[in-house]
Amino acid sequence: MRSLAFIAAVVAGSLAVAEPIAWRRDLPAAQQEAIASDKPLLVLLTGQAWCHNCVQLERHVLTKPEFAKAVSGRYVCVELDYTFEDTPDDRTREERLRGFQKRFAAPAVPTIVLADAELRPFAHVVGYDEEKTPADYVARLADAHAAWRRLVEAGDEPQEAWALAGLASHLSTSGQSAEDAWLDHYAERAGELLNVLPSDSPERAELAGVLAERRGKRQWASAFARANERVNAFELPGQADEVLAYLKSEIPAAASPELKRHLEAIVINVLDRSDRHDEMLQHVRRLRTQGEWPPSESDRLISREARALVQLDQRDEMIEVFDMAVAEARSSSDMARVRRLVAEKLQFTVNDDRLDVLLEVVNECHRVFEAESEERRTASFVASVRLRRAERFEEALGYLEELLAGEPWVGHRLDAAECLMELGRIAEAERYLALAGAEVATLAESARVGERRDAARFAARLQGLQWRLEERQARGDPTMP
């Protein structure tokens, strides 16, 4: 019950002002702090300069008051940033951080790891799930923490099996991989638990089910990895026919529906890489009519159909495919699917030469996504870029000001300053450039390698815009006041 009370307290206090998480970046020092304070570690493995989901996790979960309030003081929090430059120091740092990743059995970034002071992990939260709230993440960590605490209190007594069995739900987070580090990490211990737990206990049934599921995933994932390795040995597009013949012989003998779908996906990729988009289109449409793909995966086929149509320059038909799918989702009131499809549709219209077509999709994104959602912000950014290229600066500025009203970013501020310069609104442009300069200075002092790299890039652009402004003033540009 302690975990439920903890969650309730966090939710009740979610509107209170919370200090940002005090991230440590030296794991050995943080480990000593954890030992001295008798607290577990919360370790974030991230890639801030290159990992989209890492940025989303920070923006929508880690920086929210309810999450910061829940973890600050309860854990020693450590951030390990897997952003590296090609320097001797960074190569050494990468080797050290890869060692930590292996020790924590973390499959990818972003991953949140809970570990004891001996760096033994007892829970993972892998990736970013846009449908989960900060409170959902808090609940997941609280449950794992409570189970771990029961295990610690049990000591070496046989009842520790009951406590560790409560972690079974945390053994299904690393995805479908032939190299299942998390399963390897707990396999021996889990086998011991199955021998200790009563045969009729729900805890034993849960643990046995999770292990069987993961081992099943590993089995077909290993078969898929072998097939993929065999395919990669061929040269494309020259040996495409040989690859396709091999895959067509393997698909009927696939040991599971999951393996069969993944082999079909390789067929689609081979046709795509070989520029055989007519065949790709027909193959995808055949798979869609068979109806063997579960709803959670069927939209991937729509994406591949759209890809083939774009490559065949049949963009109007591509839009029709998405519109039909969106209409189907609306008819079943599946708004989550509507949003996924509209976001996917935007990706396939970003490079459409017809700007007005793109803007229609952008407006559709604005209708289905909330104002502060990442998808709507992405749509606004795409529109601003294309409108600036078309020298439609007033319209571009409207989208940029919407972005800046939400979560200001130095790149958007520089874009807005450029639009204002082109519109002759110099005083406003100068104000934006001054704000951007302060933000660049803050980034330059960051502890994160990626943010310091961003600072150098933004500083160069800021200087370029300032020079342009000075040149226009010097030559008495008529657009200048």
Average confidence (pLDDT) per 10 residues, the chain, 481 residues: 39 52 95 95 92 90 94 95 88 92 86 90 84 90 79 56 48 46 60 70 74 74 81 86 92 87 92 96 94 82 96 96 96 93 95 94 96 90 96 97 91 96 93 95 87 91 93 67 47
pTM of the model: 0.74
What per-residue confidence (pLDDT) applies to 155? 58
What per-residue confidence (pLDDT) applies to 178? 45
What per-residue confidence (pLDDT) applies to 6? 40
What per-residue confidence (pLDDT) applies to 158? 44
What per-residue confidence (pLDDT) applies to 318? 97
Question: Biggest alpha carbon distance in the chain?
Answer: 87
What per-residue confidence (pLDDT) applies to 268? 95
